[in-house]
Amino acid sequence: MHKILFRIHVFSFLFFVALGSLATSHHDTKTLIKNLTKRIESGESTAENYYKRAIEYRVLGQIKEAEKDLKMALERNVNFTVARREMTRILSKKGKHKQAILCAEEVIINALTKREKSSAMILLAEVLSNAGEPSEAIKYSSAAFELYPNGKIEWYLLHARLLREMKRDGERPETLDTGYQATGSIVLRNAWIDSLLECHQYETALPIIEKELLESRLKSSWRLRRAKAYIGTGKVNAAMKDLRMCLKELNQRIHPRNPDMTLIADRGLAHALLGNINTAKNDLTHLVQIGADKWITASLQKAINSIENQ
């Protein structure tokens, strides 16, 4: 009994500490905006100050103000690359795809080194993907790796996502494994395992999944992966058990006010695999409404489509 009460007190303490940290973070951001505004209004209206304030506005979700400040920064310094990159992302997020593409192309033109140019190509690939042009996007992600083979983690993830959109799933495991071997990233390792499952390479994926289930404290994502492997190998009852346990953990972990998008996506996928299509669709709709990126919703969307087309 004492142990249970102690755990409750610890949880409550950590919860309110987290809330306090969030409030402090927002307070600090607002203070930074206030200080930068004073500097700008007192004559220090430099490109750098407008850019810094734009970033703080973006943190608060005030995208309109961020866009205005980025425009001011670029008026003062047309070659201010980091501001143009940020402007590209905002335009793309707002669905202004043509403007975003032009902005990204400008970043490529102004790149001074191979690394800068390859990074700008990845930016353009992201924009083209958001614009629904994966065949064009993958040309630029491929060119980026050719120009600068030591790509970043997000480069490999983007390229693998584009391969999926191009229905070239068979190439995804090699891309992600190459990235994992090059970077040692657990994110890429997990994405590689997911790609193995999607390509029905269950025997390769299962030993890794079983090991993680033994060692991990939080098991929902690994139970979900094992359920996929079990379904693929005909162990349906075992899969259903894993999916129900996965949902039980996820429902405890998903915060009602500030939910983790990836956990919602996992929950939706578990519901889809259990045959609860309407509940899965509700999670997908929620993700779209709160601005989830394609890489978060892709597996859930694919599962829903696959089940509905059966």
Q: What pLDDT sits at residue 292? A: 87
Q: Do 139 and 170 touch, CB atoms closer than 8 A?
A: no
- Residue 258's closest CA among 39, 13, 2, 18? 18
pLDDT band of 29, cuts 50, 70, 90:
confident
Residue 54: pLDDT above 80? yes
The predicted structure's pLDDT at residue 202: 97
Rounded to two decimals, the pTM is 0.80
Per-chain mean pLDDT for the chain: 90
Q: What angle do CA 295, 299, 304 make, to 5 degrees?
A: 135
**What span, in angstroms and rounded, lies between the C-alpha atoms of 118 and 262?**
28
Tell me if residue 232 falls in helix, strand or coil: helix
* Chain segment 138-177, per-residue pLDDT in tens: 999 999 999 999 899 999 999 999 999 999 999 999 999 9
Residue 2, pLDDT above cutoff 50: no
